[in-house]
Amino acid sequence: MAPVPHLPAALGPVLDWLNYAGIAVFAASGAMLAAEKKQTFVTFAFFAVVTGVGGGTVRDLLIGAPVFWVHQNATLVICLGASVLVWLLSARLWPRRSLLWFDAAGLAAFSAYGAAKALAFGLAPLPAMAMGVLTGCAGGIIRDVLAGEPSILLRPELYVTAAALSASLQVGLTYAGLPSDAAGLLAFAAGFALRAVAILRGWSLPAYSR
């Protein structure tokens, strides 16, 4: 499918920063989970890298883009730097439930960025939204599976819903004519706000009970 004429052929600097911020906070969340499990630094680094690049790697393979981290050093430097920082800091210095908050920020940032990148590669609106959700959720799912944690997909809390909000806003606002960077900021803010309220108030989707 050819790109829609009014959609951007390239991503703006704000979206690029959202991507790097998502990498950093997701990598930190992976290292924090390794810390909770009392693992070695090798595991810290492995969890940080897998969580930081997992969703974007799956997205790029599906949309036919060059995998974003294999042609540059910056992404792995960010992931390894996050793992070093978490390793050096005492867990007593982290806010309670910090893993949830880092994960929430990465979820919203990656979902907005993933949808924007999918649009830039000519995907239709619904597949672009799906790529945003996949970008936001896949890294955390891989992290939890490797750590033996229950997958977020099997919990009713608002997680995938927050990713879907960010991704759909990115697509909808871009098609409405808003610059992709402005759409990215709004999409990130909305997705993070929904996830934050879910964490603070315990919001969740109704489970099947029949």
CB atoms near residue 206 (< 10 Å): 6
Give the C-alpha separation, 182 to 173, whole Å.
9
Position 7 pLDDT exceeds 70: no
CA neighbours closer than 13 Å in the CB half-sphere of residue 161: 15
Name the residue with tokens 């999409």.
187
Name the residue with tokens 């799912």.
141
Give the C-alpha separation, 183 to 177, whole Å.
9
Q: Can you tell me the mean pLDDT for 159-188?
A: 95
Q: Do residues 131 and 139 touch, judged by C-beta distance below 8 A? A: no
Q: Do residues 69 and 56 touch, judged by C-beta distance below 8 A? A: yes
The pLDDT assigned to 100 comes to 86
CB atoms near residue 18 (< 10 Å): 28
Quote the number of domains for the chain: 1
Q: Which residues form the domain of 75? A: 13-201
Q: Is residue 2 domain-resident? A: no
Instruction: Give the DSSP letter of residue 162.
Output: H
Q: What pLDDT digit, counting tens, does each position of 122-139 carry?
A: 999 999 999 999 999 999
Measured CA to CA in angstroms, residue 195 lies from 11, 70, 99, 163 at distances of 25, 30, 13, 9
Q: What pLDDT digit, counting tens, does each position of 29-86 carry?
A: 899 899 988 999 999 999 999 999 999 999 999 999 999 999 999 999 999 999 999 9
Q: Can you tell me the mean pLDDT for 3-7?
A: 47
Q: How confident is the model at residue 90 (pLDDT cuts 50, 70, 90)?
A: low
Give the C-alpha separation, 132 to 63, whole Å.
11
Q: Which residues contact 157 (CB under 8 A, 6 or more apart)?
A: 198, 202, 203, 204, 205
